[in-house]
Amino acid sequence: MLQVKTYRYKLKPTPAQQRELGQWLGACRYIYNLTLDYKRTLWEQNKVSIGKHEIQKELAILAKDYPWIEAVNAQTRQEVVERVFNAYEGFFKQGKGFPKFARKGQYQSFAFKQRVSIDATHIRLPKLGKVRYRNSQPCAGTIKRAVVREYADGWYVCVCVEADIQPLPTTQHHIGIDVGIKSLLVTSEGETIENPKHLYKAEKKLKQLQRQVSRKKKGSANRRKAVQKLARQHQRVANTRKDFHHKLTTRLIRENQSISVEQLRIKNMLANHYLAKSISDAGWHRLIQMLEYKAKWYGRTFDKVNARHTSQDCSTCGYRNTELTLAVRSWTCPACGTAHDRDLNAAKNIKNKAVGHTVSACGVQH
């Protein structure tokens, strides 16, 4: 079955290529801000809503007078204009914030849609030519899109391909997963995965680097270097967390035919200032996202179920303990006498909801 898959590689550009990548990024940021300003001005002064294709045509004419804009691939320039219109669509249809101008350091990537090829040592990008890269994994499939992005530790390319991914062999294992902070997740089979707390472990080093930034004079070269060191450390934490999530989710997908999780409103939960840092460090959103797309790749079933009462309901008889508080980690059902671990009981209820049956107070499944 044809599926969309993305590979990420670290680029190893020459000094000249690094300068050119930086110039492209600056040009794309300029085009983004110019497009946004042009669209806003037309509406505010003349009540004219200009279309995407009209702006792209005007941009092609403008590029002929500015070599540093024309140096950027034409389809890359068009993709920048599309980003502005996607930002407007996010504001009007999804309730996101109104599009803002991109400051230096905020605009970090540009894209290619065609004429991208890759071999064992180089990736060929339109106008930029061949760029060496770190071949960390084979790229299989038809390349549809490539995105070059600058991170704190260098330049990366994300290659989006369409590949024929074969489903995994069928298994008889079905699990529910309850995510948490103390334990990253507990499965309905009783497996507990402890929270690695990547940010917490790196916090001492991050504080040291932050103090070094604070002690440097604003605008100085030494402050810029200190900021880069701090950003690289944050990037290491993010990479470590992402690597852990990939390995964990791949194992869970391989071992289980179906996986069910709670449908959490993580954005609302982050409004709790006491838990926001721990929730962000655990990375629930990315973990669930990985499970979802990997299940689609490999022919597994993935479900999100209503999170209401998953901790309060007895998974054996269905009794609802409405007096159960967050501080109570284990309890005994007064109806059937079953002793419950809070997280394990929640995981079992999540699994039961996904397979389409619940347990009533008299112990009958329906």
pLDDT along the chain (366 residues), means of 10: 90 96 96 96 93 95 95 95 95 90 92 93 95 94 95 95 92 93 92 94 96 95 95 95 96 95 86 86 94 94 91 90 87 90 93 66 39
Q: What is the pLDDT of residue 366?
A: 39
DSSP string, 314-338: -TTT--B-TT--TT--EEE-TTT--
Q: What is the pLDDT of residue 356?
A: 60
- CB contact at 8 A, 321 and 312: yes
CA–CA separation, 110 vs 91, rounded Å? 22
Among 282, 255, 266, CA closest to 191: 255
Residue 97 is encoded by which pair of tokens?
A: 């914030």
DSSP string, 24-59: HHHHHHHHHHHHHHHHHHHHHHH-----HHHHHHHH
Q: What is the pLDDT of residue 365?
A: 43
- CB contact at 8 A, 363 and 336: yes
Catalytic residues, by residue number, are: 178, 262, 343
Q: What is the pLDDT of residue 274?
A: 83
Looking at residue 365, its amino acid is Q
Largest separation between any pair of C-alpha atoms in the chain? 80
CA–CA separation, 5 vs 296, rounded Å? 11
